[in-house]
A and B are shown apart, each in its own frame.
Chain A
Amino acid sequence: MKPRLAPRLALHLMLGGGALVMVVPFFWMILTSLKSRADIAAYPPNLLPDEWVWSNYQAALDYAPFGTYFRNSLFIAIGHTVINLMLATMAGYALARVPFRGRTVVFMAVLAMMMIPTYTKIVPQYLIAKGMPFFGGNDYLGRGGYGWLDSWWVLIVPGALTPFAIFLFRQFYLSLPRELEEAARIDGMGEFGIFARVMTPLVKPAIATVALVTFEGSWNNFLWPLLVTTRDDLRVIQVGLAAFQLAERTEWSYLMAGSTLATVPMIVLFLFAQRYFVQGFATAGIK
């Protein structure tokens, strides 16, 4: 049933007002990133830039290595997504389709790990990274050096697998009919072939969901890269932005240009793949 005209108008007014509040910061960010310095200090302020200073972006890129930060973030986010998809599909499949002793225990452990808060593990995670034997000047017991700190290893490996992905894939593989794998088995296909060529093509929605959620989590991650990297050439964009702000507190147009670079990829991805995001976050949510 469709609401009548007057209530419908009220509805649009309320939702429109709310939606406006939600998007104003994004527009303000983009508008500020295109204003000149004089324009930003103008009083009373202008809503739109006096002149559209597109060169702010080039200037921001020259000012701080946002290009490097951006590339690092992209590389790490893609790495996390690919590794997570590969490992979690295999694990989810094994947990869903192959009966073996201890399967329930493993699955329960995965569920429990989904619920573990970040702060219950982050300090020892740092110590493990620092104590990685034979890396960064460490001896075989992990003493003496910096281990994995300030390396690509530490940025990629620890965050590359999420229990949530295993959980989601297991649920999807469980829902597939048994006849499919039996037919493939009669055709002489091995277990891995059944997994890779028969079952996995059927869980594409789960793959899209996990890929997007993983990419988003990795691209927006701040705490871990902040803790484990100090080198400028290993900085990810979120850490780079925070560092730039601490160094240059008043360069608002450059800061907003950097923020725009850091948010636009996710916004574009979101607008194109809303359906999978919605599906993923309505079931996931937990960090």
Chain B
Amino acid sequence: MTTTLESVSVASANRAPRPPRRRRLGADRRRAAYLMLAPSVIHLVWWIGLPVVATFGLAFTHYDVIAGTIQWAGLDNFREIFADDIWNRSIWHTIIFTFFTVPVAMAIAVFIAVLLNQQIRARAWYRAAFFMPHITATVAIALVWMWMFEPTLGLFNLLLDRVGVNGPAWLSDPDWAMPAVILVSIWKGIGLKMLIYLAALQNIPHDLYEAADLDGASGLRRFFAITLPLLKPATFFVFIVSMIDAFQVFDQVYVLTPDGGPANSTTVMTYEIYRTAFSEFNISVACAQSLVLFAFLLVLTVIGRRLTGKDADEA
């Protein structure tokens, strides 16, 4: 839709020759357009364009933020970070975190979306309940979960106690801290995934299902033969959005498990970037770490595009 409208307006812009009065008008309109664009362009160049270029540049230098000196470093920073055991572990943690909060949570989300797509009463209320965690502040919500994970008085261990299980110390137990953070993140992220799937489901034409009914296809068969293939573009979109979010998880990790968690068991790439840049003030190394994060996202986006086919562009 976008492209057609665009080609129409481009075509009319190129229509020549024009009477002189229209040309004056065109110049006036262009001047107005430049004025209207200027504040935004300046802001975006200054606060996004410049920083991105700087991240790429600084990653290959030794920049001393206190002395203000800068010198070429080549790949030194990258060699340094991959020699750092904690950084390598943080990459692994990020991958585990992403696996559970993206593909696993997507499967749950598509299931809920299909259920919500039925004509039942109180649909809007169910949808609101599933979506609510997404719009509430991560910090505040992480504190609530922290309270529920409290080893002796928290809701979880009280419930486990009821059924005779001695619950773990959750956030202060190196084995359980990451699962706890993942649980919170699935809970928080499921609403957005569900919502995008729901919007896509509502666009699937109804007669497809009616035809399948005539052929006597079962519910499961209909889901795998009709629904899932038609959800491909939505799946691509959900995948990209959730992955960018998952790789950049910070707030709940920072609040639930400060300082990388017990024995650094929950430190993720973003937390290491934060630590390198803002408590060690090692700007260049932090930029190199940011580029590694960027590379992961880029590669996964390309893979996602391949897997879901080229027709996913409209997302």
Q: Give every chain B residue within 8 A of A40 (Cβ-Cβ).
A: 153
Is B244's beta carbon under 8 Å from chain A?
A: yes
Contact with B along A202-238 (1 / 0, CB 8 A): 0000000000000010011011000100000000011
Quick one: closest A residue to B284, CB to CB?
A123
Is A76's beta carbon under 8 Å from chain B?
A: no
- Contact among A163, A219, A274 for B137, CB-based, below 8 A: A219
- Contact among A20, A95, A104, A255 for B37, CB-based, below 8 A: A95
Q: Give every chain B residue within 8 A of A22 (Cβ-Cβ).
A: 129-130, 132-133, 187, 190-191
Q: Give every chain B residue within 8 A of A44 (Cβ-Cβ).
A: 158
Q: Is the CB of A270 within 8 A of B118?
A: no
Q: A15-B116, A191-B29, A263-B140 are in contact. Are A93 and B36 (CB under 8 A)?
A: yes
Q: Give every chain B residue within 8 A of A216 (Cβ-Cβ).
A: 135
Q: A3-B118, A116-B52, A281-B134 are in contact. Are A242 and B139 (CB under 8 A)?
A: yes
Is B107's beta carbon under 8 Å from chain A?
A: no
Is B255's beta carbon under 8 Å from chain A?
A: yes
Q: Is the CB of A91 within 8 A of B40?
A: yes
Is B237's beta carbon under 8 Å from chain A?
A: yes
Q: Give every chain A residue within 8 A of B224 (Cβ-Cβ).
A: none
Q: Is the CB of B290 within 8 A of A123?
A: yes
* A239 vs B139: C-alpha distance when bound (angstroms): 8
* A61 vs B105: C-alpha distance when bound (angstroms): 37
* A110 vs B26: C-alpha distance when bound (angstroms): 24
Q: Is the CB of A263 within 8 A of B36?
A: no
Query: Size band of the B side of the interface?
Result: 35 or more
Q: Is the CB of B55 within 8 A of A242?
A: no
* A28 vs B196: C-alpha distance when bound (angstroms): 28
* A242 vs B138: C-alpha distance when bound (angstroms): 11
Q: Is the CB of B277 within 8 A of A123?
A: yes
Q: Give every chain A residue within 8 A of B247 (Cβ-Cβ).
A: 117
* A266 vs B140: C-alpha distance when bound (angstroms): 12
- Min CB–CB distance A63 → chain B (angstroms): 15
Query: Size band of the A side of the interface?
Result: 35 or more
- Min CB–CB distance A1 → chain B (angstroms): 7
Is B280's beta carbon under 8 Å from chain A?
A: no
* A101 vs B139: C-alpha distance when bound (angstroms): 45
CB interface residues, A 79-115, toward B, < 8 Å: 87-88, 90-91, 93-95, 98-100, 104, 106, 109-110, 113
- Min CB–CB distance A145 → chain B (angstroms): 13
Stretch at the interface among B78-86, B95-103, B143-151, B302-310: B143-151
Q: Give every chain A residue within 8 A of B286 (Cβ-Cβ).
A: 123
Residues of A within 8 A of B (CB): 1-3, 8, 11-12, 14-16, 18-23, 25-26, 28-29, 32, 40-41, 43-45, 87-88, 90-91, 93-95, 98-100, 104, 106, 109-110, 113, 116-128, 143, 157-158, 160-161, 163, 166, 171, 174-175, 185, 190-192, 195, 216, 219-220, 222-223, 227, 237-239, 241-242, 245-246, 252, 255-256, 258-260, 262-263, 266-267, 270-271, 274, 277-278, 281-282, 285-287
A-B pairs with lowest CB-CB distance, top 9: A99-B13, A191-B32, A124-B54, A121-B51, A19-B129, A98-B33, A124-B51, A90-B36, A91-B40
Residues of B within 8 A of A (CB): 2, 5-6, 9-10, 12-13, 25-26, 28-30, 32-34, 36-37, 39-41, 43-44, 46-52, 54-55, 58, 65, 68, 112, 115-116, 118-120, 122, 124-141, 143-148, 150, 153, 155, 158, 187, 190-192, 195-196, 199, 237, 240-241, 244-245, 247-248, 250-251, 254-255, 258, 269-270, 273-274, 277-278, 283, 286-287, 290-291, 293-294, 297
